[in-house]
């Protein structure tokens, strides 16, 4: 692989800090001059739980948003051409990096937050988010063409949502293929640069009402909060383009949350099962497809999961 421009290397390193399902990091990058092409990597797709690639494209959308913000930190303007391409179904986007003005304060804050954003599967403080924070993260999602629908602790539907989460997890636990797929990406060696080490999976909650995902390999139990904020991310449609939009909206709102010292974790199993995904939409009376369910709260800073090197994500020979 040719030596990358130092600015592009920094952009790709920051982009690779994006969250991805089970830390699979399912993206591949091609660099030609000032053009960066991002594609989904099916070798890192969860074929059983994500057969359509919805979560894979959401992960790539988060990578894309980070790349945009990291480019602005380098005083470059990212001109993005999004999929689809009928001849390249794995294409996510082509980013042309043009000379630009220095980043404004908001862009710089988001870019700096990339290295500070981390998923936390530990208990949060037992309180909802402040109103100004809620507004800021909802605006961030809206800016990327998505809607963040809050599920407050006082909402009656919240208990039904948690019942669906536990139902989906129980179905996964009964599915040998699903168990094997989860095992391949969780409780991995601490020095592995993808997947989630066991110590970062978080403990099992004592209470089934706790808004946290239970991994099969989770070790120990803990008392989780009951009053953190839950939210579901919605997009207008349910195509690959919508999934990429969901990923960009997700990372935008997570970086804004990070600015306010807010952590997040995700309950993806309920959306991987078509039945429970449909039921979630009915329970919450959603008029658009749900793409991500998350809990948001104030808590301690977790240890970060490792990421692959830039060289490992860039297609050789570019």
Let me know the angle formed at the C-alpha of 138 by 154 and 263, rounded to the nearest 5 degrees.
75
Span 82-102, average pLDDT: 95
Nearest alpha-carbon partner for 92 in 46, 50, 58, 49: 58
What's the confidence (pLDDT) of residue 208?
Answer: 82
Span 220-225, average pLDDT: 90
Span 222-249, average pLDDT: 96
The answer to whether residue 149 scores a pLDDT higher than 60 is yes
Share of the chain above pLDDT 90, in %: 86
| DSSP symbol at 22 | G
Q: What is the pLDDT of the chain when averaged over all its residues?
A: 94
Span 111-118, average pLDDT: 97
**In which band, very low, low, confident or very high, does the pLDDT at 93 lie, cut at 50, 70 and 90?**
very high
Span 38-66, average pLDDT: 98
The answer to whether residue 139 scores a pLDDT higher than 90 is yes
According to DSSP, the residues that pair with 264 across neighbouring strands are 119, 296
What's the confidence (pLDDT) of residue 3?
Answer: 55
Q: List the single range of 143-152, 207-216, 242-251, 307-316 with lowest mean pLDDT.
A: 207-216
The tokens 């991500």 sit on which residue? 292
Span 39-61, average pLDDT: 97
Give me 172's structure tokens.
């996964």
Span 77-84, average pLDDT: 95
> What domains does the chain contain, in order, with CATH numbers?
6-117+305-313 (3.40.109.10), 131-298 (3.40.109.10)
Please indicate whether residue 254 or residue 220 has the higher confidence score (pLDDT): 254
Span 231-243, average pLDDT: 97
**In which band, very low, low, confident or very high, does the pLDDT at 1 lie, cut at 50, 70 and 90?**
very low
Span 106-115, average pLDDT: 98
Tell me the C-alpha distance between 61 and 134, whole Å: 22
The answer to whether the beta carbons of residues 18 and 251 sit under 8 Å apart is: yes
**In which band, very low, low, confident or very high, does the pLDDT at 306 lie, cut at 50, 70 and 90?**
very high
The answer to whether residue 152 scores a pLDDT higher than 60 is yes
The answer to whether residue 172 scores a pLDDT higher than 50 is yes
Tell me the C-alpha distance between 267 and 280, whole Å: 12
Nearest alpha-carbon partner for 14 in 65, 87, 79: 65
What's the confidence (pLDDT) of residue 169?
Answer: 94
Span 55-61, average pLDDT: 98
């Amino acid at each position: 692989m040719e030596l990358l421009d130092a600015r592009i290397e920094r952009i790709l390193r920051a982009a690779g800090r994006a969250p991805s399902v089970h830390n699979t990091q399912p993206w591949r990058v091609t660099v030609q001059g000032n053009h960066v092409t991002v594609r989904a990597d099916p070798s890192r797709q969860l074929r059983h739980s994500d057969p359509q690639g919805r979560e894979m494209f959401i992960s790539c959308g988060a990578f894309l948003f980070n790349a945009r913000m990291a480019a602005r930190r380098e005083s470059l303007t990212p001109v993005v051409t999004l999929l689809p391409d009928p001849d390249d179904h794995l294409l996510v986007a082509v980013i042309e990096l043009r000379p630009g003005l220095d980043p404004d304060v908001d862009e710089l804050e988001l870019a700096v937050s990339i290295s500070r954003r981390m998923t936390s599967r530990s208990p949060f403080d037992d309180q909802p988010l402040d109103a100004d924070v809620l507004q800021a993260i909802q605006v961030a999602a809206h800016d990327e063409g998505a809607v963040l629908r809050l599920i407050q602790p006082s909402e009656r539907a919240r208990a039904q949502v948690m019942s669906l989460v536990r139902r989906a997890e129980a179905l996964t636990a009964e599915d040998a293929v699903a168990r094997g797929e989860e095992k391949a990406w969780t409780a991995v060696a601490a020095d592995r640069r993808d997947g989630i080490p066991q110590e970062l999976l978080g403990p099992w909650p004592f209470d089934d009402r706790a808004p946290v995902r239970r991994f099969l390999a989770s070790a120990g139990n803990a008392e989780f909060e009951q009053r953190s904020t839950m939210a579901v991310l919605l997009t207008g449609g349910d195509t690959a383009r919508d999934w990429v939009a969901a990923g960009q909206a997700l990372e935008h709102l997570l970086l804004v949350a990070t600015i306010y010292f807010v952590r997040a974790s995700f309950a993806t199993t309920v959306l991987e099962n078509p039945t429970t995904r449909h039921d979630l939409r009915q329970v919450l009376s959603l008029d658009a497809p749900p793409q991500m369910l998350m809990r948001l709260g104030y808590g301690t800073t977790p240890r970060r999961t490792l990421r692959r090197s830039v060289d490992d994500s860039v297609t050789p020979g570019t």
